[in-house]
Amino acid sequence: MPKTILIVEDDVLLRDLTAESLSSLYAVTIMSCANADEALHRLCCEKIPTLVMTDIHMPGPMNGLGLAQEIWRRWPTLPVILTSGDAVIDTGLLPARTAFLPKPWQMSDLASLINTLVTLPPQSER
C-alpha cells in the first residue's frame, strides 16, 4: 500500500521545498494544503495519509493546533508533526505519535523525527 505524507503549511515556498525534499528521501506520495480547513476537508474526503505535518500558526478559522486536535479526536493513531517558529510546546503533553519540530529546522532533523513516528520506504525502493 503506498504511503502518503500530508503537508499543511501556508508559506508556499516552505511547503514546496518540504514536499520536494521529502520526495527525494522517501518513496511516498505528497499531498499539500495551504491551511487547516483545506487539510481537514481532504482528510475527510480522501485517503487518510500515513503522516501529517502541520504548521501551528496559519490564517483561517482553524490553525494547525486545531487541525491536530481534530486528528487526535477522529484518527487517534495518525502520526502528526507540529511545526512553528514562535510557539513553545510542552511535548510531554502531546498525545502518542505526535511530535513538535521548531522552525527553522534542518531536513535531517525532520527525517529523523519522521523515522521515529513511521516507517517509510526510502526513495531508492521506488
* pLDDT one-digit tens code per residue, 34-81: 999 999 999 999 989 999 999 999 989 999 999 999 999 999 999 999
Instruction: Spell out the domains of the chain, with CATH numbers in brackets.
Output: 4-118 (3.40.50.2300)
- Give pLDDT, residue 126: 47
pTM, full prediction: 0.93
Average per-residue pLDDT for the chain: 93
- Residue 53: CB atoms within 10 A of its CB come to 27
